[in-house]
Chains A and B, each alone.
With several copies, the nearest count.
Chain A
Amino acid sequence: MNLKIALFGIAREIVGQSALEVSAPEGQSARGLLQDLHARYPELARLSSLAVAVNNEYAAEDAPLREHDEIALIPPVSGG
């Protein structure tokens, strides 16, 4: 399946674009997606944290991703 991933802040800068399309096996987990992306963009692994959001909620590590989910990478937030 193809996953479309929105990127923000330093994750956007590291990848060099604000969205990314990756192909992933059916039932790919949030953790699996992060492992893939860490391999492709090693600088992502140096962040204090990197979470996956699905449909505006933080996703559990083993949450399976689906093709039409709104997926985003969430580097350490710093609002306020």
Chain B
Amino acid sequence: MIHIDLTDQPIDVAAALQLVEAEGAGAINTFIGTVRNQSTGRSVVRLEYEAYDSMALHQLRKVAEQALEQWPMLQQVAIIHRKGTLYIGDVAVVVAVSTPHRAESFAACQFIIDTLKQVVTIWKKEFYEDGDVWVAAHP
């Protein structure tokens, strides 16, 4: 089962964890990305995430499907990404997977967040005291 969401509301991590609970799954791995107070040495004040919604949702689902292909024992996959304005400590993304065995839970969760960062059409702009930058835009 795949659960995908892209939301401008605060992410409820506990609810995300409940999505992946399964009686046959003894192992749940969760990655939570939060807004750090620093980025490449500069003090971050806030972030803005912009998304190409329809493509982001489609690509998020594809990433989850690829994980299910690679680890057929996966029972539940949840990927929830925030958009809009975020402040220090806010949750930007939650990935949660459940499997019968733990090694696969780590591998699948890491695959999902790594692949998400490469292909999902979401853009982050960091705002500092003295300027702003679209992350990764320039070499």
Contact = CB atoms under 8 A, between A and B. Distances in A.
Interface of A: 6, 8-10, 12-13, 46-48, 53, 56-58, 70, 72, 74-80
A76 B56 CA distance: 13
B120 A75 contact: no
B33 interface: yes
Given A9-B137, A56-B59, A80-B113, A74 B52 contact: yes
Interface of B: 33, 49-52, 54-56, 58-59, 81, 92-93, 102, 113, 116-125, 134-139
Contacts of A76: 136-137
B55 A72 contact: yes
B59 to A, nearest CB: 7
Contacts of B92: 79-80
Nearest to A46: B138
B50 to A, nearest CB: 6
B52 A6 contact: yes
Contact of B137 (A57, A75, A79, A80): A75
A65 to B, nearest CB: 16
A14 B57 CA distance: 25
Given A72-B52, A77-B120, A10 B58 contact: no
Nearest to B57: A56
Contacts of B138: 46-48
Contact of B81 (A8, A10, A79): A79
Given A46-B138, A48-B136, A77 B54 contact: no
A78 B136 contact: yes
A9 B125 contact: yes
A80 B136 contact: no
